[in-house]
Amino acid sequence: MLNEQEAIGKVLDDLKSEGFEHVLVVDGYSDDGTRAIAASKGAMVIQQHGAGKAGALATAIDAVTTPYLLVMDGDYTYKASDIHRLLGHAGEYDEVIGARTRGRKNIPRFNRLGNWLISKTFKLLFGEPVTDVLSGMYLLRTDAIRQVKITSTSFDIEVEIASSVASTGRITQVPIGYGERLGTQKLRPADGGRIISTLFWMAYYFNPLLLYGALLSLCAFPAVAILGWVLFQKVLLDIWHAGYALLGAMLLLVATQGAALSLSSLLAKRSEQRIMLELRNLERIS
């Protein structure tokens, strides 16, 4: 959290009104009085190590002693009453994301588009139907998140965490609201490129065959275009372009092989996740 003096007091009051007393505020060396306001509200305030939002989260992970860690932006866009929805699924999942389904008009239009694109890409690469992977409110199982080596330094931290959990554990989402932000917006359009690059890097790290297969399957688009043009030329003009036809057929073959590779990789990953889940259940029983 950095320079949130307009919002932090309201956030802490909201948390207290819902019965949440064990609150940790990680401060990124604010110079506007944020730390003093948080301390006056009874929160435990520590200063972060590392850079950006990722550094703040890494600091919190080192400090918490509870089985679960609830991450919540300090700009008053999230309501403490929605935390109960996330806690209801704490025992079953390693990460529970609060998907912003109410109050989406409070998200800038450009950010909404970027979030939609990133979430769709996340679903394609990791096979998890998460619709709001960039949400600033999510619940983490402490033991699980401590096994993740955080390499992000900015707003791509949510993508890195969700990718890691989706690849090695269980992830889900619940609907929550989203309010109007207090204070200055810190997310910039340029951060979108960093988030996308992190998403593809995580896909390469955890499931490279799926990523390569998905990229190869994109050859279907030029293949269909080329073969369609060749067919048009042959039917209407009686001109046969053997070279282009061969190129289109080769691209279509590559796309088919890529799709098959992606599907096989996805099925293998799903099988691995089911096996890990069964092993975890056996550990709980024993």
Does residue 176 share a domain with residue 245?
Answer: no
What DSSP element (H or E) covers 141? strand 137-141
- Spell out the SS3 assignment of 177-228: ECCCCCCCCCCCCCHHHHHHHHHHHHHHHHCHHHHHHHHHHCCHHHHHHHHH
Give the pLDDT score at 67: 94
For the entire predicted model, the pTM comes to 0.79
Note whether 178 and 64 are same-domain residues.
yes
How many domains are contained in the chain? 2
Say if 84 falls within a structural domain.
Answer: yes
**Are residues 225 and 139 part of one domain?**
no
> What's the Rg (C-alpha) of the chain?
23
Instruction: Confirm whether 246 is domain-assigned.
Output: yes
Structure tokens belonging to residue 150: 């955080």
Q: By C-alpha distance, which of 105, 129, 109, 107 is closest to 119?
A: 129
* Cα angle: 160, vertex 163, 165; to 5 degrees: 105
Query: Which of 164, 187, 206 is at the close of a domain?
Result: 206
Residues 214 and 195 in one domain: no
Residues 19 and 147 in one domain: yes
Tell me which residue of 76, 228, 186, 182 sits closest to 137, measured CA to CA. Answer: 76
Domain identity same for 202 and 234: no
pLDDT of residue 117: 92
pLDDT of the residue at 101: 93
CA 265 vs CA 127, 256, 258: distances in Å: 11, 14, 10
Query: What's residue 256's pLDDT?
Result: 93
Question: Residues near 189 by Cβ (< 8 Å), separated by ≥ 6?
Answer: 110, 114
pLDDT at 64: 94
Q: Do 43 and 132 lie in a common domain?
A: yes
- pLDDT value for 145: 94
CATH number, domain with residue 172: 3.90.550.10
Q: What is the pLDDT of residue 158?
A: 93
Q: How far apart are CA 118 and CA 97, in angstroms?
A: 15
The predicted pLDDT at position 286 comes to 65
Q: How far apart are CA 191 and CA 11, in angstroms?
A: 25
Question: Which three-class secondary structure state does DSSP give residue 267?
Answer: helix
Per-residue confidence (pLDDT) for residue 284, from 0 to 100? 65
Partners of residue 72 on adjacent β-strands: 137
Query: Which residues constitute the domain of residue 222?
Result: 210-285
Residue 75, domain member (yes or no): yes
Task: Name the domain boundary from 206, 231, 253.
Answer: 206
d(CA 190, CA 221): 29
pLDDT of 190: 67
Encode 137-151: b = buried (16+ Cβ within 10 Å), e = exposed: bbbbbeebbeebebe
Residue 127's pLDDT is: 78
User: Do 194 and 270 share a domain, yes or no?
Assistant: no
| Cβ pair 257, 251 in contact under 8 A | no
Same domain, 125 and 191: yes
User: Assign residue 282 a region: left if phi > 0, alpha if psi is -120 to 50, beta otherwise?
Assistant: alpha
Tell me the pLDDT of the chain (286 aa) as tens digits. Answer: 788 999 999 999 999 999 998 999 999 999 888 999 999 999 999 999 988 888 999 999 999 999 999 999 999 999 999 999 999 999 889 999 999 999 889 988 888 999 999 999 898 788 788 999 999 999 999 999 998 888 887 888 999 999 999 888 889 999 999 999 987 777 766 677 888 888 888 888 887 887 888 889 999 999 999 999 999 999 998 999 999 999 999 999 999 998 888 888 777 777 776 776 677 667 667 6
Instruction: Tell me if 3 is assigned to some domain.
Output: no
CA pair distance 164, 154, nearest whole angstrom: 16
